[in-house]
Amino acid sequence: MSTLQNKRILLGVTGGIAAYKAAELVRELRRLGASVRVVMTPAACEFITPLTLQALSGNPVHTALLDPEAEAAMGHIELARWADLTLIAPASADFLARLQSGMGNDLLSTVCLATRSPIAIAPAMNQAMWDASSTQANIAQLRERNVAVFGPGSGEQACGEFGPGRMLEPVELAAQLALQFSVQALTGKTVVITAGPTREAIDPVRYLSNHSSGKMGYALAQAAIDAGARTILISGPCALAAPERAEHVAVTSADDMLAACLNYAPGCDLFIGAAAVADFRPANVVEQKLKKTAADTMTLTLVKNPDIIASIAALDAAPFTVAFAAESEQVLDYARAKLERKKVDCVIANDISATGIGFNSDDNAVTVIERSGDTTFDRRNKMQLAHALIALLAKRLIG
């Protein structure tokens, strides 16, 4: 990825524990060929020293609005003009509020007011602060003004809590930033993605399902949106929030998912089946809750579910169709067989017997199998993998 070559990135660092990651971010941006200048708020300087970011960026760090010496070297207006893109990472709740309301009470907010460059923010804060209605309202308004919002990620926080509010990792931020400069590969294309598990009802309170988290399908939907596609995400029940600009169609059973796919897939350009569709469903859904009986065993009769992806691949005007193959042995052989059996254009195979990747984890490693040959993607974060996969699929669509 060399899309940051010769780009001028103005990095604003605000006060929060994630400020320590700004050091790695500067390195990553420079590694991708960008020139970086850093503006820090006074609070940011409490977490990481300007000297560190000066050494890594190779440029003096700017910290104060009313500093005659700094203004003589490169004033706030010149800084604002210099930038091809302004990235605030981490962006604290306080800074988001000030950016939203157009304040210019420190150097960074003034530069943001004065710049004509696009602005991107990488929020980082405690999960309750992120969920606060005022923060959410600020984010919504900033988005409306075309500020790109990267993340935040979800998980363990420095304060010991769990939830949304973690700054995205520097590598991921740099990748998202590079996307802002790339010609969007899927502009004008429509992508339909299935994700998550399906639930097959046994009675009104019980169902058969699986452990699919939906993470890979949701990451692919985000990557398709980032590439400029109209993106329809048909998802079984899972705990993830749908990407902001996805058209989210919530379904429950394999039958529902098939109906939604048959509704949206005809005429689309790319169909990706990332859902873990239940292969079987109970033959009869009992209308009343099943009662415990004296018997020690109980027999459920199952019938086969429709193969959604094979149905889409068999359409007269079938889109470019991509299946996933989660296998625990003979991964590539089984995946190749699936390519022919389902008559799809491509199978993305992942080895679910390997620890730390695949089902329910944050990372994945896959081999993309096509009739023309295989492409392997080593272990990486599902979001990074999704961007790489969408880039490859975009090449297939566009040629």
Q: Which residues bind ligand C5P (CB under 6 A)?
A: 194, 254, 273, 275, 277, 279, 305, 307-309, 323-325, 338
Peptide bond into 90 cis (omega under 30): yes
Q: 367 — phi, psi (to 5°)?
A: -120, 130
Q: How far is the CB of 281 from ligand C5P (least distance, A)?
A: 10
For ligand C5P, which is the closer residue by CB, 107 or 390?
390
Helix (H) or strand (E) holding 343: none
Q: How far is the CB of 249 from ligand C5P (least distance, A)?
A: 15
Q: How far is the CB of 300 from ligand C5P (least distance, A)?
A: 18
Q: How far is the CB of 258 from ligand C5P (least distance, A)?
A: 8
Measuring CA to CA, which residue among 259, 260, 266, 237 is closest to residue 247? 260
Return the biggest CA–CA distance within the chain: 88
- Which of 112, 159, 261, 346 does the annotation list as catalytic? 159
d(CA 335, CA 347): 6
Q: How far is the CB of 199 from ligand C5P (least distance, A)?
A: 13
In the annotation, is 159 catalytic? yes
For ligand C5P, which is the closer residue by CB, 53 or 277?
277
Q: How far is Cα of residue 218 from the mean position of the Cα atoms in its chain?
A: 7
Helix (H) or strand (E) holding 370: strand 363-370
For ligand C5P, which is the closer residue by CB, 117 or 194?
194
On whether the CB atoms of residues 391 and 370 are closer than 8 A, the answer is no
For ligand C5P, which is the closer residue by CB, 168 or 325?
325
For ligand C5P, which is the closer residue by CB, 32 or 344?
344
One DSSP character per residue, 257-287 reads: HHHHHHHHSTT-SEEEE--B--SEEESS--S
Which residues are tagged catalytic? 159
